[in-house]
Structure 1
Amino acid sequence: MLDFLRKQAQSTLIQTVVLIIAVVFIFWGVGTNLSGSRNSVATVNGTEISPVEYNRAYSQTVDGLQQQFGGKMPPGFAEQLGIREQVLYRLIQAELLRQGGEEAGIRISELPVQQRIAAMQVFQENGNFNLQRYKTVLEQNRMTPSSFEKGLKSDLSTERVQELAGSFAVIPDNAAARWQAWSNEQLKLAYVKLEPAAFEAKVAADDKALAAWFEKNKEKYRSEPKVRLKYLLFNQSDDEKEVKIADEELKAKYEQDKESYRQPEQRHARHILFKIEKNAPENLRAEKKKQAEEVLAQAKAKGGDFAALAKQHSDDASNKDMGGDLGFFAAGRMVPAFDAAVFAMQPGEISGPIETEFGYHLIKLEEVKPETVRSFEQVKDSIAVGLKRQQAKALSFKRAAAAYEAVMKAGSLDKYSQQEAGKVQVLEPFSRSERPQGLPADPKFVETAFSLKKGELSSIIELREGYAVLFADDVKEPEQPKLEAVKDKVLAAWKKEKAAELAAKAAADLLASSREKKALQSPEGGTVIVTGLLKRATPGGENAPPDEVQSEAFKLAWKEKLPAAPVQAGEAWFVYEVRERLAGEAKTDEATRQRLTTSAQRDLLTAWLASLQSKAKIQISLRNRDDEAPQ
């Protein structure tokens, strides 16, 4: 659904809980689709989430990320973030919220839906709702009035749920002042850092203890399996040299795929955003609109510099420094009200204020790229490359199949190699972690090599760049070495472990001595470091220890100067003393109060969502296939 099309349908609070991936905020999001489908990606208590809804959500999320990366994401970035799973999780949470609202007795009539639609500027002409414009805008976004209204009704229900949950979040009057006092508290520390490396010289070699330690940890030193490999490789690149593609074939392929070379009209625009929070009072909204109108007048005045005004006034941090530049984008990529305005403008025109979910926008259309279809000459070379690779791969398979048949007829790979000298390649024994030069880089090759038993011939395996046939000439199973064979490694690891134990003991002894004398003592050969004043809210500072140490120090009761136990940070141990402590200034701050209120509301909603999820019957049928989600 077009969440951002539905005015005020998603609150900041719900977006915080439900949204996992942050997308550029002027793109539309996805709401709840209640239409049933036999082919679903998930069901929540019997209600299906359709592939259409999932694919739309996935596409829009990826589009948003691409926009953040200037139109092109780093290869594999979407997979690393797990966007497929996170989009599905977001949709499931949205459905849980909707169902939770129904269980709580929240019912939304048709009247609020109609009122919300009538108030949307994108559906208005001359300030009044226009039915034909309503249908046209929805059609442009591939939606029907019934599906849009059903989704909007669901969102209004969710909005009401959020409001009710928020009403239970009570923040005491002095909460902001207490939080400020806590956050601004300062202290000065003295501390000693004890590192294992400083104790390694004190670790004496003990053959008996070393042997016992090795016996306990010997699995760490077990060798990896190794394989001696003979193989046939059929590189696709070798066959590409033999492939010739006629112009007639290229033209036929071009006509077949011509639609894929169509590039829709794109528009290059800038904007200035005057951001408004969802629950902002009317006087603030009016003030923001007035501010937008004043800046609009400056932009339209002779000599007005829209980019400079965007840098000065825009609340869109993502492109403010670029003068509000949004780059080129096609129709349907932006919030509908924003989108409708841009695609009704002429180059050089400045429009606004345009109201969207995020506030008021001033828009300047810089340039228009008309729809084009790339010509045959423009794509001829890329078509040739694709066809050549396709036909070369077929030739490579043909060679691999012929060779495999010949191996079968010869009776073994060795006999085949006598008939076809120089074709069989050999790799001396290697492990997964120590691979020889010349080993094909394709993971499928290594996978197959280590799946074979000694004397076993693989079938024809497909690689990224061709085909191969593998033969495990010898397989060396993992071995448990004797201590003498790995003594140097074992001794180094043993010393490191013993040094860490000595450092921990030294820290405990130092703390015990310090607590007895009620002040931090200087260790033998060590140094006491004294910090400047450290602030709880901003870790770091003069001579500051690691964050873990500061965090523990701030947890100490005011009367305590020394901790109950040393603190480990990384491999080192720390013993500290609080030398000075200053109470933070307790002041009432409206921004802090609002932040605490939002946090309390979020915690309540998160807990409620967790409760709903624990009771829900959720079935996920999304499969990890390339055709499940658009790439």
Structure 2
Amino acid sequence: MTMLGRMRDHKSWLKWSLAIIIVAFVGFYAQDFTNTTTTPGGAPNDIVAQIEGRAITTESFRRAYYQQIQSYQAAYGGNIDEQILRQLGIDRQILEQMIDEQAALVEAARLNLTVNDIEIRERVTSLPGLQEDGVFIGEVRYRELLRSQVPPLTTPQFEESIHDNLLLEKLEGVLTQWIDISEDEVREEYRLRTEKVKLDMVTFSPDDYTTDVTVTDAELAEHLTDNAATYEIRDKRKIRFLAIEAESLRAEITVTPQQVETYYNTNLPQYSTPEQVRASHILFNSEGADEVALLAKAESVLAEARAGADFADLAEQYSDDTGSASLGGDLNYFGRGQMVPAFETAAFGLMPGEISDLVQSDFGLHIIKVVDKQEAFNRPLDEVRDQIADQLQWQQALDRANAVATELSNTIAGPDDLDRVALERAWEVKESNFFARDEPIEGLGMAPGVASAAF
């Protein structure tokens, strides 16, 4: 069967494959996370879209939106205006991409595709933005980078995004593994892309003949009837509004040392680095294997390791974990709860330099060697004081903006009141473009709450 034939037979699968292609994985760069100096409309937990029970919240959309804006500004030296990007529909494109991604994740779940903790860990430690001189920067700096974002990003949040991207990669593999491209198809595609022709042509413009054509009212009416949908104008609204931006209120807010200290003590786990170990392992995959032969092989390799053979060389030669085998089995540092229970118990029960007995997990048999151990510790308050103050200032600005909005909404009953309030506070009443219920609003972007109220 030709590739074209298979594509015809798998059209419903291809729509997922094409969706995946446009879902670009955003690499980790500490400077490129969300900058919340402006905020598209909607409370953080408002649902912008929902796909088979998977919700896209305003917070997640906002994070993706500003990350994309910053990437554009970084690429063009900051010389690109956010308002222009909104007019080009960038917010709608981002939302559509997020919907495509969630739809693909629904399909991955339907196909029972999974991602395990080891795969997530290997991807995290191999990200270029989390490496220094080709080596993972370590658990402490990793968590510090996540916490330094505004708002802070937790380890589970970041690793959930890694999980989703790995799942999408697996789905892409499932959808494309049946494609077999023949040499003839490659040659034909090459010919189509490189073949050139030279021709002479004469063009005829319809404008040259309009004076010779007469269209009757009856013909116009018939055309309109036959193509009514083409000329249909969707119901749209235009609004006047006051935007209360939290960023403009930040300068009025002073965070006291006592508030910082209280927040630190209340959220101490956020500034704690738990006990962690650095380990290497050799995996003997049990899937489809003869248990007796697999056990014999694992015991033989374990004997070599304990006899003094180089553990990294043994991992490269024998390990079925393709992600870590080329690294000599190195899994870098990890804390509790990041590995499967049996593996975790064995690793944390060893001292540096010790090699475990054979450890059974859902993946097969492991030989584990602990390289290093780090005790749990807390970052001191002085080290994170400025970060906490900035975070509290931003949160209080948001709270004040919400309070002001609530207060003013009770005093505004009509257009004249809107103008009065704007005059009293030296604010500007803004006017939007015409927008449909599911279109971005000029000056606000995708704001489903505002659109719903307008309609």
Taking structure 2 as the reference length, the TM-score comes to 0.50
Which secondary structure does the structure 2 equivalent of 1:271 belong to? strand
Identity %: 28
The C-alpha deviation readout for 1:241-276, integer Å capped at 9, x for no partner, is 111112122112222222443332111111111222
Query: Does the C-alpha gap of structure 1 residues 339 and 450 become closer, same or farther in structure 2, counting only changes over 3 Å?
Result: closer
Secondary structure of the corresponding residue to residue 431 of structure 1: coil
Give 2:271's aligned residue.
261
Per-residue CA deviation, residues 24-72 of structure 1 (Å, 9 max, x unaligned), is 276xxxxxxxxxxxxxxxxxxxxxxxxxxxxxxxxxxxxx756655574
- Which of 293, 301, 305 pairs up with 1:287? 293
The Cα of 1:79 is off from its aligned counterpart by 11
In 2, Cα distance between equivalents of 1:69 and 1:326? 10
| SS of equivalent to 2:242 | strand
Q: Distance in 2 between matches of 1:232 and 1:69?
A: 43
Q: Is the 8 A contact 1:265 1:371 kept in 2?
A: yes
The equivalences for 1:190-269 within 5 A come to: 215-269=225-279
Compared with structure 1, are the counterparts of its residues 450 and 226 closer, same or farther at alpha carbon in structure 2 (3 Å cutoff)?
Answer: farther
SS of the residue aligned with 2:243? Answer: strand
> Do residues 309 (structure 1) and 314 (structure 2) align?
yes
Instruction: Flag the structure with more relative contact order, 1 or 2, with Cα contacts below 8 A and sequence separation at least 6.
Output: 1
SS in 2 for 1:309: helix
| Match of residue 57 from structure 2 | none
Cα shift at 1:293:
3.3
* Aligned: 1:372 with 2:377: yes
Please, what is the CA RMSD of the aligned residues?
4.6
Q: Distance in 2 between matches of 1:307 and 1:80?
A: 26
Is 1:363–2:368 an aligned residue pair?
A: yes
* Count of residue correspondences: 285
Aligned residue type for 1:424:
E
Note the alpha carbon deviations across 1:562-615, whole angstroms, 9 max, x for none: xxxxxxxxxxxxxxxxxxxxxxxxxxxxxxxxxxxxxxxxxxxxxxxxxxxxxx
- Where structure 2 has 5 or more consecutive residues not aligned to the other structure, the ranges are 1-107, 126-154, 169-179, 193-201, 207-212
The 2-side partners of 1:436 and 1:18 are apart by 35
- TM-aligned CA deviation for residue 398 of structure 1: 3.8
Seen in structure 2, the aligned counterparts of structure 1 residues 372 and 188 have a Cα distance that, compared at 3 Å, is: closer
Distance 1:68 1:221, change over 3 A: farther
SS of 2:295's equivalent?
Answer: helix
Cα 1:297/1:230, change in 2 over 3 Å = same
Within-5 A mapping of 1:48-87? 65=120, 68-70=123-125, 72-73=158-159, 75=161, 78=164
Contact 1:275 1:359 in 2 (8 A): yes
Deviation of the 1:415 alpha carbon: 4.5
* Structure 1 gaps, min length 5: 1-15, 27-63, 83-183, 195-200, 454-631
Offset at 1:367? 1.6
Normalised TM-score (structure 1): 0.38
How far did 1:294 drift? Answer: 3.3
Asked if 1:24 corresponds to 2:116, the answer is yes
- Structure 2 residue 387 is the aligned partner of structure 1 residue 382: yes
What residue is the counterpart of 1:425 in the other structure?
429
Distance in 2, Cα, partners of 1:275 & 1:426: 63
Offset of residue 329 of structure 1: 2.2
Residue by residue over 1:474-531, the C-alpha shift from the partner in whole angstroms, topping out at 9 and shown as x without a partner, is xxxxxxxxxxxxxxxxxxxxxxxxxxxxxxxxxxxxxxxxxxxxxxxxxxxxxxxxxx
Judge conservation of contact 1:307–1:322 (CA < 8 Å) in 2.
yes
| Structure whose alpha-carbon radius of gyration is higher | 1
Equivalent in the alignment of 1:58: none
Report matched runs for 1:598-609 at 5 Å.
none
Structure with more of its chain in strand, by fraction: 1
Instruction: For 2:291, give the aligned amino acid.
Output: R
Partner Cα separation in structure 2 for residue 188 and residue 416 of structure 1: 72
**What is the 5 A alignment of 1:524-563?**
none
Kept in 1, the 8 Å contact 2:342–2:359? The answer is yes
SS of residue paired to 2:237: strand
Deviation at 1:236, TM superposition (A): 0.8
Contact 1:292–1:353 (8 Å) recurs in 2: yes
Structure 2 vs 1, CA of residues 22 and 410 (structure 1 numbering), >3 Å: closer, same or farther?
A: closer
